[in-house]
Amino acid sequence: MPATKPIVIAHRGASGERPEHTLASYTLAIEQGADFIEPDLVMTRDGELVARHENNIAETTDVGSRAEFKDRKTTKTIDGVKYTGWFTEDFTLAELKTLRARERLPMLRRDNTKYDGQFEIPTLREVIALAKSAAVSRGRPVGIYPETKHPTYFASIGLPMEAKLLAELQAAGWDRADAPVFIQSFEVDNLKALSKQTKVRLIQLLDTDGGPADKAQPSYAAMITPEGLKAIAVYAAGIGPNKSLVVKNDGTAMPLVADAHAAGLAVHPWTFRAENFFLPASLRSGINPAGHGRLEEEISRHLAAGVDGFFTDYPYHGVQARDRQSR
């Protein structure tokens, strides 16, 4: 594996400190030293890519309080799960731009609610522009790490994501192997298709349970075997595993990093968060779920296990832990 420093990927921006997937969240992440900012991507009705973790925007915007969109509330089945809410594919970009973001986790991140109602939903184009201008003003690379969310579902409703994503990267001059870009997906076949259309580095996401929504592989468990990892290496540059596939909550390192490196794959686990609620019991401080525990120690465990980067909601702590380890 390369001898470069592990990369700090700002998960949904500095989402521990600002409402996720807003330019304010990405900007703070860059100020804190993140190497990459992560937009999750979904489609609008008019075929634009916007940054949201899911196409149901009920939880992370003020859409529910907007009388003009009352009749857009609906129920849909996406990747086999039923959701009720408002969906990006039922809105034009112009309509989505009238909405404002809200904190997803107000019980755990109460301070962030003071920003509710302030920030727009950004487009991928705006996220790229932000990364580019920050790279110039800060004199260092700032990359993007976009994730295609529900690609099979969006293709099924006539809004395929991949061609649009590549067009945006091409327009930015970033549709090339050395671009500061990784494209990630929990699905398999859209990454395989992308691997034939672009040299941009691709990352296969892996979870502890279940399998890819496109059913291209029977389970994530099969994909993390040495044979499964060799198959991923045919189309991807790396894997993005759930952190507990790398280091167990009791601190025991798993063989995944060594197996992935043997297959030629980089390893970027997710997601490192400061709140006790998300930390292993031994790294919590106090009993308040919203209190902050020893996040940097958790990240250090993964760095010691040999990861090549990691996703965190708290890029400041990510940079601190990474730089301490790299010294």
**Catalytic positions:** 11, 53
Contact 149, 42 (CB under 8 A): yes
Q: Which residue is closest to ligand G3P by CB?
A: 270
Query: Could you tell which of Ca ion, ligand G3P, none binds residue 100, using a CB distance below 5 to 8 A set by kind?
Result: none
DSSP reduced 3-state for 71: helix
Q: Provide the mask over 133-172, with x wherever binding to Ca ion is found by CB under 5 A and - wherever it is not.
A: --------------x-------------------------
Only one residue has tokens 């691709």, namely: 202
Q: Locate tokens 């006539």: which residue?
A: 158
* 40 versus 95: smaller Cβ distance to Ca ion: 40
Residue 69 identity:
F
At 85, phi and psi to the nearest 5? 165, -150
Q: Which is nearer to ligand G3P, 95 or 203 (CB)?
A: 203
Decide if 270 contacts 294 (C-beta within 8 A): no
- According to CB under 6 A, which one of 86, 119, 182, 311 is a site residue for ligand G3P? 311
- The 30-59 site mask, x for binding Ca ion (CB under 5 A), equals ----------x-------------------
- In 196-294, the DSSP E strands lie at 201-206, 238-241, 266-267
CB of 191 to ligand G3P, least distance (A): 13
DSSP classification of residue 252: P
DSSP, collapsed to helix, strand or coil, labels residue 235 as coil
Taking CB within 5 to 8 Å according to partner kind, which of Ca ion, ligand G3P, none is near residue 119? none
The answer to whether 314 contacts ligand G3P (rule: CB under 6 A) is no
Pairing type for strands 74-78 and 81-85 reads antiparallel
Select from Ca ion, ligand G3P, none the partner in contact with residue 148, using the beta carbon and a kind-dependent cut-off of 5 to 8 Å. Answer: none
User: Where on the chain is the footprint of Ca ion (CB under 5 A)?
Assistant: 40, 147
